[in-house]
């Protein structure tokens, strides 16, 4: 009985890890840059990159946003804070047009179409 419980536990952990990887894979990539990976890692611990891609803020507003996220638990090395702000304010500045993101209903419809085509 113990080996059954252990194998069920291992299977559930593996499925949870796979699900996390799939969710991260669905999150769009941030623009290339020296801080891309660190920003992606720090920010997508709590939310998808779509949240960032949709933002258009001034440098002072990004400064407040980064500081707020650090207070809320985002893991940002103090030595990287200014570089985070520079990366975000350069790529997602207030003077740039917002990125057009697919609406949730469009994503659901596409998923439904894909599921239907897989059944046939």
pLDDT of residue 63: 98
pLDDT by 10s per residue, the chain, length 120: 455 677 766 766 666 665 555 554 567 999 999 999 999 999 999 999 999 999 999 999 999 999 999 999 999 999 999 999 999 999 999 999 877 766 655 555 555 555 455 555
Question: pTM, whole model, 2 decimals?
Answer: 0.64
Total count of domains within the chain? 1
pLDDT of residue 32: 96
pLDDT of residue 105: 57
pLDDT of residue 89: 98
The domain in which residue 66 lies consists of: 2-119
| CA 84/CA 38 separation, integer angstroms | 8
| CA 81/CA 5 separation, integer angstroms | 45
pLDDT of residue 15: 62
For 52-72, the DSSP string reads HHT--B-HHHHHHHHHHHHHT
Structural contact between residues 99 and 54, judged by C-beta atoms closer than 8 angstroms? yes
């Amino acid at each position: 009985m113990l080996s059954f419980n252990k194998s069920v536990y291992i299977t559930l952990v593996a499925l949870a890890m796979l699900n996390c990887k799939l969710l991260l894979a669905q999150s769009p990539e941030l623009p290339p840059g020296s801080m891309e990976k660190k920003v992606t890692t720090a920010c997508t611990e709590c939310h998808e990159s779509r949240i960032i891609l949709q933002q258009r803020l001034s440098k002072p507003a990004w400064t407040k946003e980064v500081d707020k996220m650090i207070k809320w638990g985002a893991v940002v090395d103090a030595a990287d804070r200014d570089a985070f702000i520079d990366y975000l304010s350069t790529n997602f500045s207030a003077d740039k047009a917002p990125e057009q993101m697919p609406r949730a209903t469009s994503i659901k419809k596409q998923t439904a179409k894909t599921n239907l085509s897989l059944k046939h």
